[in-house]
A = this chain, B = another copy of it.
Amino acid sequence: MTDTLQAGPRPRLNRARVLEAAVALADEIGIESLSMRRLAQELRVVPMALYKHVANKEELLDGMVDVIVGEIDPPAADADWKSGVRSRILSARHTLQRHPWARRAIETRTAMTPRVLDYMDSFIGVFLAGGLSLDLTHHAMHALGGRMWGFTQELFEDPAAPAPAVTDAERGEMLRQAAQRYPNVVAIATSVTHDEGSVVGHGCDDQFEFEFALDLLLDGFERLHVRDWTSRGAKAAR
């Protein structure tokens, strides 16, 4: 009876409620004003209560991007890979634009949460289903970089492998599980490492990937340029 006197019975906290409230609050007051204290106040709870559901603020932010990545529409069953990729990216962009802070948050976060891996896996799947080679798909993912997210960033870029001390057996088990959930991601990763060394995570030349995307764009500019130039010339000639 006592708590009915309050503005509401305040249902018990849980991780999902914390994360959703954080997302909503960030939408409202901006990510830079989002503090643990402010969030706690919003949930009508003492600040330290949050730490029962979130290890620290870093993990809170990780969880927040996880939530919004989960909001991205699943890939529509498009006719060809190109329009499939295109519509997915634009859908991601649309989702991200609803949360202005999300772009910056994703950039600073490097955690590979399950939903992020899901997203990437289905993304890669569209390419592979379209018949593109593992290699080309790999480069394409790099070139798209953050455009996958509806904006731009350099993905995979920090090879500071989290690699938390695990035995080889555990590592093998994790890999098998990952291969089940994220078959495409694993396919790309392993195909890359086969070429070069044996260390997972390396064997992917950052500089090459950068120049690959750069030259794709430059070639595109050039094509548009000469087309423009010739059409102008044709117009002048007739």
| Cβ A221 vs Cβ B132 within 8 A | yes
| Cβ B216 vs Cβ A82 within 8 A | no
Known: A225-B131, A229-B131. A217 touches B143 (CB 8 A): yes
**B-chain residues with CB within 8 Å of residue A140 when the two chains form the complex:** 217, 221
**B-chain residues with CB within 8 Å of residue A85 when the two chains form the complex:** 218
Report the nearest B residue to A145, measured CB to CB: B152
Q: Complex Cα distance A146/B222, Å?
A: 19
CB distance from A32 to the nearest CB of B (A): 10
Partner of A217 from the list B93, B104, B131, B147 (CB cut-off 8 Å) is B147
**Contacts of A187-238 to chain B: CB distance below 8 A:** 210-211, 213-222, 224-225, 228-229
A111 sits at the interface (CB 8 A): no
Q: Complex Cα distance A89/B214, Å?
A: 9
**B-chain residues with CB within 8 Å of residue A224 when the two chains form the complex:** 136
A154 sits at the interface (CB 8 A): yes
CB distance from A217 to the nearest CB of B (A): 6
- Give the total of A residues in contact with B, Cβ under 8 Å: 42
Partner of A210 from the list B93, B218, B229 (CB cut-off 8 Å) is B93
Known: A225-B131, A228-B133. A217 touches B217 (CB 8 A): yes
Report the nearest B residue to A219, measured CB to CB: B220
**B-chain residues with CB within 8 Å of residue A222 when the two chains form the complex:** 82
Report the nearest B residue to A155, measured CB to CB: B152
**B-chain residues with CB within 8 Å of residue A103 when the two chains form the complex:** 154
| Cβ A217 vs Cβ B144 within 8 A | yes
**B-chain residues with CB within 8 Å of residue A229 when the two chains form the complex:** 131
A37 sits at the interface (CB 8 A): no
Given contacts A82-B222, A147-B213, 14 further A-B contacts (CB under 8 A): A86-B215, A90-B214, A104-B108, A107-B107, A131-B229, A136-B228, A140-B217, A145-B152, A147-B210, A152-B152, A152-B154, A216-B217, A217-B217, A220-B220
A-B contact pairs, 28 of them (CB 8 A): A89-B214, A90-B211, A93-B210, A103-B154, A104-B108, A107-B107, A130-B225, A131-B229, A132-B221, A132-B225, A136-B224, A136-B228, A143-B217, A143-B221, A145-B152, A146-B152, A147-B213, A147-B217, A151-B153, A151-B154, A152-B153, A152-B154, A216-B216, A216-B217, A216-B220, A217-B217, A217-B220, A220-B220
